[in-house]
Amino acid sequence: MAEVLHFEPKVQEVPANAMAEACVIGSILLDNAAYDSVADVVKPEHFYHNDMAEMFRLVQGEITSGRQVSPVTIAPQIRSSEYLGTEWLAKHLPGIISAADVRMAREAARSVAACWVKRSIQTYADEMRARAASSEATADDILTEALEHLEALSKGTDASRPTVTAFAAGQALMEETNSHWQAGQFLSGLDTGFAELNNRIRGFRPGAMYVVAARPGIGKSGLALSLAVRMAQLNGRGLFWSGEMSAEELMGRVIAARVRMPLDMVLTGMNDRAGQPERISQHDMARMVEASMALKGIPLSIDDREGITVPQLLARARQLKRSKRGLRFVVVDYMGLMRGSAVARRSGNRTLEMTEISGDLARMARELKVPVIALSQLNRQSENREDRRPVLSDLRDSGAIEQDARCVMALYREEHVLQTRMGTDGQPVRNTNETDVMYEKRRVTFLDALDRSRGKAEIIVLKNRGGRTGIVDMLFDGPTTWFRDVSAGERSEAW
């Protein structure tokens, strides 16, 4: 029988930097101004050594109370502290003072915070190992919790980013503005792929969240896909997350737009226009294959995992951003299909959950320095108005979406709205107590309006921070759910 081998577990080294901890405290004691350089980086709980943590609390308490602190003035508090005492004062304070280096205080604070992050990861890894060995939680739950915890750690160290002076920020802006001026470039962000939309919002600016909202059936997924494909061609790789359609169906829409064939024909290869399903022609099949091969020229990555959280999407986006091809933009279809954190979900408050999702998407845009185009549902309020064009108050679930977004756009199609007011006979529904004469007059006007609205859409810019609002007219092809510029015409290439 084979001998069973046993290995002694390797002792885990605890990340800590005693010299950095002493440097932070000693520098503050010698020059209280050093506290301002470390206060946004390190907290008492970041110190590994308990005595150093207590010492930092004492020093921090004095300074935040508006009092000067020095080795002399802090001594009485050290003596009276139950965690330190007279013996500790004599033994350790001289070493802390000798470790001081005011110029390196901020770097030392970063080292202390970094060690804390590593210790936190080690601790949480042990907890996750125990959770994984338990049968009480699913693998998805454990993974979600782990991502949320790591995201929280990441946010906790964000304060280490230095502030920027007004002059430095102004100079950086002028450099960017000058480069646009020299090149005659009027866009301040990525080319949207649509001329009229570019004229209105001046492109999708990196680091900002843009919201596209609509009622179901209006075509917001079609607009998102139209934007994503054109932007990828013009600007570089994008990430498209869909919570309701598979990658194959999404590309079916892209192919359908290219070959000008209804989506169901592209998905099935069958034609039922005559009421009797039959195979499409070999010529049409060849056109679809050719369009599918043309997808090689579209650098768009599709993520069709359903019900994911923003941290899960961010983890994938970070990977793409770090890769050689980089990442230029992210499209989210749509916010309502994402999940909030476990804490938000347990609250049972959908508004709270959507507020968290909206804020996380806005932070993701800033961290990755890419525009995030997020789709959102509109509530039913607009359907109770005579003019059903959306307004900002129609945004569903959370007012935070309006606040977090740099720009809010609502998609509206008069054709769709009028069709919802028609009966099964193809005529407008008759109002109660409406006379024949009144109905006929309204029917003629109604059908004329329906005819004029066919194939048309509006992107209503409801909010545009630092820019213009208003209506951008678009063309919409219903069978392929694709959008085009009015100036390009309905016969223009989809992509």
Q: What are the sequence ranges of the domains in the chain? A: 18-132, 199-407
Look up residue 452 and give its two tokens. 């004029």
What is the Cα–Cα distance from 227 to 253, expressed in whole angstroms? 13
What is the Cα–Cα distance from 153 to 419, expressed in whole angstroms? 51
pLDDT in tens, the chain (495 residues): 444 444 455 555 778 999 999 999 999 999 998 888 888 788 888 999 889 999 998 999 888 888 899 999 999 999 988 889 899 999 999 999 999 999 899 899 999 999 998 888 888 888 888 878 776 777 777 777 777 777 766 665 554 455 678 888 888 889 888 887 888 888 889 999 999 999 999 999 999 999 999 998 899 999 999 999 999 999 999 999 999 999 999 999 999 999 999 988 999 988 876 677 888 999 999 999 999 999 999 999 999 999 898 988 988 898 899 888 999 999 999 899 998 887 778 888 888 888 999 999 999 999 899 999 999 998 887 777 777 888 888 887 667 888 899 999 999 999 998 888 888 888 888 888 889 899 899 899 989 999 999 999 999 999 999 788 999 999 999 889 999 999 999 889 999
CA 435 to chain centre: 53
Annotate the chain with three-state secondary structure: CCCCCCCCCCCCCCCCCHHHHHHHHHHHHHCCCHHHHHCCCCCHHHCCCHHHHHHHHHHHHHHHCCCCCCHHHHHHHHHHCCCCCHHHHHHHHHHHHHCCCHHHHHHHHHHHHHHHHHHHHHHHHHHHHHHHHCCCCCHHHHHHHHHHHHHHHHHHCHHHCCCCCHHHHHHHHHHHHHHHHHHCCCCCCECCCCHHHHHHHCCECCCCEEEEEECCCCCHHHHHHHHHHHHHHHHCCEEEEECCCCHHHHHHHHHHHHHCCCHHHHHHCEECCCCCCEECCHHHHHHHHHHHHHHHHCCEEEECCCCCEHHHHHHHHHHHHHCCCCCCEEEEECHHHCECCHHHHHHCCHHHHHHHHHHHHHHHHHHHCCCEEEEEEECHHHHHCCCCCCCHHHECCCCHHHHHCCEEEEEECHHHHHHCCECCCCCECCCCCCCHHHHHHHHHHHHHHHHHHCCEEEEEEEEECCCCCEEEEEEEECCCCEEEECCCCCCCCCC
Annotate 83-115 with three-state secondary structure: CCCHHHHHHHHHHHHHCCCHHHHHHHHHHHHHH
Using an 8 Å Cβ cutoff, are 252 and 242 in contact? no
Nearest Cα residue to 84 out of 108, 49, 60: 49
CATH of 18-132 among 3.30.70.20, 1.10.10.200, 1.10.860.10, 3.40.605.10: 1.10.860.10
Using an 8 Å Cβ cutoff, are 297 and 340 in contact? no
Residue 157 is predicted with a pLDDT of 54
Residue 406 is predicted with a pLDDT of 95
CATH architecture assigned to 199-407? 3-Layer(aba) Sandwich (3.40)
